[in-house]
Amino acid sequence: MKCDKCGKEAVIFQKYSGMHLCAAHEIDDVERKIKKHMRQERMVIPGDHIAVAMSGGKDSAATLSILVETFRKRPDIKFSAITIDEGIEGYRNNSVPKVKELCDKLGVSHIIVSFKDDIGYTLDEMLKRERKEASCTYCGVFRRMLLNRTAREIGANKLATGHNLDDDAQVVLMNVMNGDIERLARLRPSRIQEGLVPRIKPLMDVPEREIALYAFLKKLPFYMGECPYAHESLRGEIKDMMNEFESRHPGTKYSVMRGFDSMVECLKEKYKQVPLERCEVCGEPSIEKLCQPCKLKKRLRIEKEKRDILS
């Protein structure tokens, strides 16, 4: 197949747009979508210091690369990279070097914060005694807290993540299927909460497979392995279902997000956002007196004491 724009060999067929694109035009198209989305949402403004959450996968690599390239001539906008090392043997130790390589290439400072140093256990250690289903809960709660705290500590005023169109459409559908509409409203926070660094998602308008292709075509260093604990079954089922729908009804992922965007304001009216308090133990922003990370830490401590007594 030939590129619809220049006649060169096509590398992708975008069913939803009906276009065949060559490598150069696919790169252009992905960058155009990201830049348009950043402009519409006024995502980056003069004086910003943006911390980019870097797992080492294709999404975070694409996010950092496009942000740095887009604002290369803007010395008033600063970028830093943060990697949370959860301590997952055979996974994170392979992806961290990829982040380093990309940061060196782009001239961005890179900070690594580990579960082991900060919480006292690697994720592997936490999960030795836990049901495996708990992995994403533990990992997500601690990772979110550490990303936010680190971004705040280095003086960043925004935190960019590599969520793409598929990620967001999956989350929307999952919350609908779980009947968790309040959580759906929380996907677009309306107020800036004290102590919480606002999030931006530059890749939100680009399908996952095009981000993968983009990272590959741009020869970005990234790690392709999957987290060994990635088995959240409902999420996986929804992902498969959406991909099947997308291939039979091109544009479904965009429609899900368009539908969500047009109802989110009503949802925010119904589920008002309450101001956060400070956790009485660690001082991080929290809905309850004790924040979720501190609750989980307490649980880990109790379990360890039990084990120490038994051994």
Binding region for Zn ion (CB under 5 A): 3, 5-6, 8, 22, 25, 279, 281-282, 291, 294
DSSP H helices in the chain? 23-40, 58-70, 92-106, 115-119, 123-128, 135-153, 165-178, 181-185, 208-217, 233-248, 252-270, 292-310
Q: Which residue, 181 or 290, is less far from Zn ion as judged by CB?
A: 290
Closest CB to Zn ion among 52 and 300?
Answer: 300
Q: Which is nearer to Zn ion, 25 or 58 (CB)?
A: 25
The distance of closest approach from Cβ of residue 118 to Zn ion in the complex, given in angstroms and rounded to an integer, is: 12
Nearer to Zn ion, 5 or 15 (CB): 5
Closest distance to Zn ion from the beta carbon of 36 (Å)? 19
> Least separation, in Å, of the C-beta of 22 and Zn ion?
3
Report how far residue 186's alpha carbon sits from residue 66's, in angstroms, rounded to the nearest whole number. Answer: 27
Least distance between Zn ion and beta carbon 167 (Å): 27
Rounded Cα distance between 17 and 15, Å, is: 6
> Of how many residues is the chain composed?
311
What is the rounded distance in angstroms from the CA atom of residue 273 to the CA atom of residue 11?
45
Cβ-based neighbour number of residue 162 at 10 Å: 22
Kindly tell me which of 30 and 238 has the beta carbon lying closer to Zn ion.
30
Report d(CA 113, CA 96) in Å as an integer. Answer: 11
Minimum CB–partner distance for residue 143 and Zn ion (Å): 15
Q: Smallest distance from the beta carbon of 291 to Zn ion, in angstroms?
A: 3
Closest CA to 229 of 99, 295, 139: 139
Q: CB-wise, 212 or 281, nearer to Zn ion?
A: 281
User: Which spans in 179-251 are helix H?
Assistant: 181-185, 208-217, 233-248
